[in-house]
A and B are shown apart, each in its own frame.
Chain A
Amino acid sequence: MTDSFPAALTGPTSKERKYDRQLRLWAATGQQALEDSRVLLVNSDGPLGTSSTGVSGVVGVETLKNLVLPGIGGFTIVDPATVTASDLGVNFFLEQESLGKSRAEETCRLLRELNPDVQGYFYSKHITDLLHDPEFLPRHKLVIISGPTKRSSLGPLTQQAQRLGIPVLYIHSVGFYSTFSLQLDAEFPIVETHPDPEAMQDLRLLNPWPELVAAAAALGDLTNMDDHRHGHVPYILLLLHFLEQWKHAHGGSVPSNYKEKTEFREFVRSNARTDNAEGGEENFDEAVAAVLKTIAPFSLRSSIREIFGMRQCKHLTPQSADFWVIAAAISAFYTTHGVLPLPGSLPDMKAQSSDYVTLQNIYKSKARQDVEEVTATVHQLESQLGRSPPRILEREIEVFCKNAAHIKVVHGRAIPHISSDSDQDTLKEIRSQLGIPDSLISVFIATQVLDAVVDEIQSSGQQGAHLSVDNDGLWISHTERILALLTRDAPVPLSEAVREGIDDAIQELRRAEGGELHNISSLTGGLVAQEALKVLTRQYVPLDNTCVFDGARSRSEMYRL
């Protein structure tokens, strides 16, 4: 029996001890996904004009730090720059002795020290030189790019990643500002979204299954119970019991609107015994508190309905991902039963131990029964698709069923940019944001101007060698060009206030002349790593798709651009 393992064997391994605090967030499955991942960091792509060897790339290195510590499988740093004195004042993963050496090599070496379980690789090259090798990019599960990067590098990299289905994070950290965007597949499904545990509960009080009905009926007449028993009836059974009484008095109908629910609540309350030392009963208090939330018919959330209606769910192919096969089986379950598979978890409540465990088992066995039905459908679908033997694991189906009401499909978009070939939806969203006072979209626009300025410097070769990222002429011409693109089809020109907001953002951004402040890069490295972890573990809900952080005024905003 597994129960008789000696004590020494039941303790955690040293790896479990090292990762204890994070395993509580994403469990062994999330950890395995991390360990199976190699992350590519493209940390600079040539000088940003005079007196600069390129983007400092602190934000990229800080992001990697937050991924190496929890133990991703490995990382690759691509960075053609050499270490300069100004790197030492802002990058923690360089030291005095690194001066003049390859920045890719030095940051790789010092990051590897953080975790001996992580593999580190580096290339002191431009990313475009590496993309010629068709096997290079597919080694990675995620690409992180430190901007500003010229379009002739960014374009091919993000497009190749998109074709391969590799997510991309494109980051800027300049002075007190940072922005980052996440590029995901057109459909990025997540099963374990980790909603609020209260939202996970589905008690089915208005459509109980026979075993639950029987458990409530078995209570019999509450008035005959002694005080101890009366005070320990689990509130779920109390509610079911009083619902039956209500139905008798109301021609078989259940409380359906707010007024009826409050009446029902008072009815439950009036049945509590108050002639005791405590002046009330905790289980009745719990029942009363739960009425408004739990006395509601099952309703399918619109986001789940939308997933069931998607082409991928309705038309499976032999190439369909497991997610869609299980989703199709659950959609069929919903069609048959009008509900989703029962998640099976029960909140804690005042009750005798054995009564609680009995009730919990009623929920658990119903959940198990639902999983079995879905599993049968999944196997049937797989065999219709010609997959034999079926490859989808029961564990996967079980997790899916438990989370069925909260699954999510993110509709990924490309890295947004403002140019003449921009996606119209991106421009539309930016324009609508411009109408909102104090919107941080002005910061996004400012980083777009910076991208354009750097693009011009880097693309003009020898002629651009004298240009600086602080060149007023470049900033003015690109600001005007970008604003013209934004207002091209607009009925009215930008208001003075909006224009002032954009100019302020540009002025604040230009204080740093393209340079990074360590605090802001470290903070942004935390935010970006968080998104990377969510994408790699496929748990929690990632950014969709752009975040702007304003360190001057300590706030952030999200946009779907």
Chain B
Amino acid sequence: MDTVNVGEQSRWRHLYKVLSKPGPYCDEDWVPGSETINTLESSKILVIGAGGLGCEILKNLALSGFKDIHVIDMDTIDISNLNRQFLFRQADIGKPKAEVAAAFVEKRVKGVKITPFVGKIQDKDEDYYMQFKIIVCGLDSIEARRWINSTLIGMVDPEDPESLKPLIDGGTEGTEESISCERKSTESDDQIGFKGQARVILPTLSSCIECQLDMHAPRPAVPLCTIATIPRQPQHCIEWAHQIAWQDKRKDDTFDSDDMEHISWVYHAALERAQQFHIHGVTFQMTQGVVKNIIPAIASTNAVIAASTTSEVMKIATGCNPYLENYMMYAGEEGVYTYTFEAEKKPDCPVCGNLARKMNVDPNMTLGDFIESLGERAEAQLKKPSLRTEEKTLYQRFPPQLEEHTRPNLRLRLRDLVEDGEEIAVSDPAYTIDFRYRLVFN
């Protein structure tokens, strides 16, 4: 054995020991030792996101023996990241997260190569994603998750096992068990910061992000009429200042939630409106929270969720223990609580299933209202949908001529456009695939 190897042996002593002995829970056919260690060290891993979860994920992968890691993130570093994104310092503010994070971990952990890409996941094509063995997500956007999920599912070639890329997803931005028809309190934020989940997705084989979409319902938006005419909460005043007053008074400036002057303007406009209606409680902090949709976040929750995902990456890459099947949720506000279960693969999943998903609708609803509701319905969450049935186009956003042509349909009732039980295809510029729903009249 040469000296480099001896160095590596003692450096990775703990890891190599675990990978060189069989355990009671690993597969009977599992072969411990150098072959497994080589597989681990040669596995190329992609990390999506270099924020709170991403920083931890990069560190964890590097210290789990992975040598070839890529990371994508389009964001730059902000001061409010420093309370948890531990690879960043005051002097890094304004620099791209992916580059700073990659350079830091490369410097600290000898022998690891981390390749950053500053940009969007949508900038990359299937050839790019095909080069990785496993993909780990540390995102705070449901939209990006859905995009990578449908892309990876689309890549699966049943003839080629290498085309199946396990997707390990971590999240700390809060989930609802199911959509609730009751109004959510505006103060529930203080529970979110201690919660998260990790899940393992084997594209086409197990439950996917889209199958589980209704477990992650968006928060119901405050109705516009409340904001415009009958505000009752400080948040309603802030929404008014943000959505209505800004349009009214400063429509030539594009609102930038990172611009302190803009936030300050909205804060003062909200404060004035609140005073007019005798509503208390508008603060600068709350203004920022509402307009930037800020979710509380701390290092410890990130550490738990990020390490859950990387622990699964390591188990999948080496086979040294069974991987998570397929969902672990964590809640830490009262003791330490985790719940591990198998989320179901849905045959009517619009992405990985082959049946259209059932959607109950009011036949008297106009197409326009229905389209608006798709943004908030837990099972759809589509912001800019275009719709068609097998025979005709119901509403098409692009090109403009077609939009104009289909616009009159928006005022028609659903019963006048589709049959009870008819299937519609919905496309949305945020996703590469069509979503299929079967509309069932109430």
Contacts and interface: CB of A to CB of B under 8 A. Distances in A.
Interface in A484-540: 503-504, 507-508, 511-513, 515-520, 522-523, 525-527, 529-531, 533, 540
B14 A7 contact: no
Nearest to B12: A89
Interface string B49-75: 000000010011001110000000000
A16 B288 CA distance: 12
A89 B84 CA distance: 23
A114 interface: yes
Interface residues of B, number: 93
A552 B14 contact: no
Interface in A212-258: 232
A379 interface: no
A527 B21 CA distance: 28
A71 interface: yes
B338 interface: yes
A517 B185 CA distance: 41
Interface in A390-438: none
B260 interface: yes
A362 to B, nearest CB: 13
Contacts of B11: 85-86, 88-89
A202 B370 CA distance: 36
A11 interface: yes
Nearest to A512: B18
Contacts of B7: 85
Interface string B286-302: 00110000111111111
Interface string A18-53: 111111110000000000000000000000000000
A507 B21 CA distance: 10
A552 B321 contact: yes
A428 B25 CA distance: 28
A20 B80 contact: yes
Contact of B24 (A507, A540, A554, A558): A507
A515 B18 CA distance: 9
Given A16-B285, A554-B312, A523 B108 contact: no
Contact of A522 (B186, B271, B306): B306
- Most B CB contacts (10 A, CB to CB) among A11, A21, A116, A503 go to A21
Interface stretch (A298-306, A307-315, A330-338, A344-352): A344-352
Nearest to A508: B23
Nearest to A513: B17
Contacts of A455: none
B193 interface: yes
A65 interface: yes
Interface in B313-357: 314, 321-324, 328, 332-338, 340
A473 interface: no
B63 A553 contact: no
A371 interface: no
A541 B333 contact: yes
B311 interface: yes
B303 A62 contact: yes
A66 interface: yes
Nearest to A26: B190
A518 B7 CA distance: 19
Given A176-B321, A347-B185, A520 B63 contact: no
Contacts of A7: 264, 268
Nearest to A94: B108
A476 interface: no
A522 B59 contact: yes
Given A7-B268, A88-B11, A542-B335, A508 B25 contact: yes
Given A90-B63, A519-B307, A96 B264 contact: no
A119 to B, nearest CB: 17
Contacts of A135: none
Contacts of A161: none
A551 B277 contact: no
Nearest to B309: A519
A289 interface: yes
Contacts of B328: 554-555
B230 A552 contact: no
A128 interface: no
B169 to A, nearest CB: 14
A198 interface: yes
Interface stretch (A142-150, A262-270, A353-361): A353-361
B322 A540 contact: no
Contacts of B284: 10-12
B324 A92 contact: no
A91 B308 CA distance: 18
B363 interface: no
B30 interface: no
Interface of A: 3, 7, 10-12, 14, 16-25, 56, 62, 65-66, 69-71, 84-86, 88-92, 95-96, 113-116, 175-176, 193-194, 196-198, 232, 286, 289, 345, 347-349, 351-354, 356-357, 360, 503-504, 507-508, 511-513, 515-520, 522-523, 525-527, 529-531, 533, 540-544, 547, 549, 551-556, 558
Given A70-B84, A552-B321, 19 more contacts: A22-B298, A24-B296, A25-B296, A25-B298, A84-B10, A85-B11, A86-B12, A176-B321, A289-B181, A347-B185, A349-B232, A356-B230, A515-B14, A520-B311, A530-B300, A540-B194, A553-B25, A554-B311, A554-B324
14 contacts: A11-B260, A19-B83, A22-B83, A62-B303, A86-B12, A89-B14, A89-B15, A286-B183, A351-B230, A517-B15, A523-B304, A540-B332, A552-B322, A553-B322
Closest 9 CB pairs of A and B: A526-B303, A515-B14, A523-B307, A526-B304, A518-B63, A504-B24, A529-B300, A85-B10, A89-B11
